[in-house]
Structure 1
Amino acid sequence: MRKFYQSVGVEAADTGHVVTLDGRMVKTPAKASLVLPTKALADAVAVEWDAQDEKIKPDTMPQTRLASTALDRVMPRHNDVVTEVAAFGGTDLLCYRTNEPADLMALQDRVWNPYLGWAATELGASLRVTNGIIPVAQEEKALERLKDRVAAHDAFELTALHSLTNGLGSLVLALAYMEGFSPLEAVWQASILDATHQEEHWGLDDEVAEKRAIQHADLTFTAEFISHLRNK
């Protein structure tokens, strides 16, 4: 799509802030009004629209994309999205450990156990650990506690949590970041621990490296989105 506007602005609205293009409010892909909960997020979205050149490139507008997803896809299906995100708790990455080699087993214990300890203490969700890939059944009480924690997020933060959980492959790691237990880089490294251990011996494939860079960038954009939501 060619750029069709000259000026970008941010205005206060009854329920938040909106971004305007030549005085007209930005809409989501589903044609809903893009009303944003904080001025910080509205400013970030405005910067993305202002940075467009002759053609509008949606893939360069992650804050706009996440905000639109919250309004178009998450808000109308809040309970369904909560269920989808919470389901990760039943097969969380941190609960599946290797049988060998010994150094990787020790590394998993050292890096992952503190997160499971935090989940048990702070979230009330004690998750069982197994060695190998055979599924381990988690206690219903633990899964309910995780679901309650997920459900407590509004549509915008739930969108971010969904993105983090998918990107990290772990609901516990995603919640640990969102609730301030661990910084983004630490949960990211924890999520790729098995792969990086293997790569120390066999090297990193170029295609894998490219995909991982994209994945890391998406997580960084999501972290920025969360920061904008919490910066009143």
Structure 2
Amino acid sequence: MNKFCLKKASSNEYYLFYEEKLFNTSKGNKILIPTIKSQTQFIKKINSEFLKKNSNFMQLLFFSNDIDDNKKKNISESILNFIDTDTVCFRDKDKPELLKLQKKRWDNYLYFCKKHFYLDFHINYSIFLKKQKIDIHSKIKKILNKMTNYHLTTFYFLVKTTNSIIISLNILFNDTEAGLAWKDSNLEYEYNKSVWGEDSESKKNFLLKKSFFTDIIKFISFFDKEQYE
């Protein structure tokens, strides 16, 4: 039996109810759901996740509905801090085989960002960090300001999980397959594993991160895709 349901709040938004009562976040905020692809599947997912301990899905749902102006500013600033350290912008010229893979698998992500968002990232081949152009900050900030709370939440955690704004933009706005994006964001990790092997602690952390990434993708799959101008 479904204990959760959605009740219309406006023409295109719904409140989440639990046993006929408004269901709030742990901080007491109402949960407002936009028009989604399948209310039936969404409610089914909520019912299955509700009783799970430390459910990533529920945490993402709460996080999205707890965003106020101050929190949105902090989230945006945290995302912008990844600009100069984006995984895709660092290439290892001392490892020709890895460098070839990086070019083959990462350059398309850069191309999409340049073509559709006019984000002209430069690539670092040196251990000495060369910061990205200042206009990239303002352009990405503009993108973030247009995002819904659900997409901002998703983007924020994708960036933290992949260490890449570039790959995360491709996931949200392009037709990039999530599994491929995950592999590409961990290209250097997989390369080093093939050369040096993998210890149990690294494997455990990698699998935990992968599980969270998968849950993020499942979460945003209920909502309409973001559109770029």
TM (normalized to structure 1)? 0.85
Q: Could you tell me which of 8, 13, 18 is aligned with 2:3? A: 8
CA contact (8 A) 1:79 1:151 kept: no
2:81 corresponds to: 87
Instruction: Say which is worse superposed, 212-221 or 8-17, in terms of deviation.
Output: 8-17
Q: Displacement of 1:30 after TM fit?
A: 0.3
Q: Displacement of 1:178 after TM fit?
A: 0.4
CA contact (8 A) 2:9 2:15 kept: no
2:16 corresponds to: 19
CA contact (8 A) 2:14 2:32 kept: yes
CA contact (8 A) 2:2 2:44 kept: no
Cα–Cα, structure 1 residues 136 and 156, in superposed 2: closer, same or farther, change >3 Å? same
CA contact (8 A) 1:19 1:45 kept: no
Q: Could you tell me which of 136, 140, 156 is aligned with 2:130? A: 136
1:209 corresponds to: 203
The alignment status of 1:32 with 2:25, answered yes or no, reads no
Cα–Cα, structure 1 residues 144 and 52, in superposed 2: closer, same or farther, change >3 Å? closer
1:121 corresponds to: 115
Alignment partners' CA distance in 1, 2:59 and 2:42: 9
The alignment status of 1:162 with 2:162, answered yes or no, reads no
Quick one: percent identity of the two aligned structures? 16
Deviations 1:177-200 (A, max 9, x none): 100242111211111111101111
The alignment status of 1:190 with 2:184, answered yes or no, reads yes
TM (normalized to structure 2)? 0.86
1:106 corresponds to: 100
Alignment partners' CA distance in 1, 2:175 and 2:42: 28
Aligned length: 223
CA contact (8 A) 1:19 1:46 kept: no
Q: Displacement of 1:7 after TM fit?
A: 5.3
Q: Displacement of 1:205 after TM fit?
A: 2.1
Instruction: Say which is worse superposed, 76-85 or 175-184, in terms of deviation.
Output: 76-85
Letter in 2 for 1:30: K
2:48 corresponds to: 51
CA contact (8 A) 1:17 1:42 kept: no
Cα–Cα, structure 1 residues 24 and 179, in superposed 2: closer, same or farther, change >3 Å? same
Alignment partners' CA distance in 2, 1:40 and 1:183: 19
Deviations 1:139-177 (A, max 9, x none): 112232222222221111100000111010000000011
Cα–Cα, structure 1 residues 52 and 158, in superposed 2: closer, same or farther, change >3 Å? closer
RMSD: 2.3
Alignment partners' CA distance in 2, 1:39 and 1:8: 19
1:152 corresponds to: 146
Give 5+ residue unaligned stretches, structure 2.
none
Instruction: Say which is worse superposed, 90-99 or 76-85, in terms of deviation.
Output: 76-85
Instruction: Say which is worse superposed, 40-49 or 12-21, in terms of deviation.
Output: 40-49
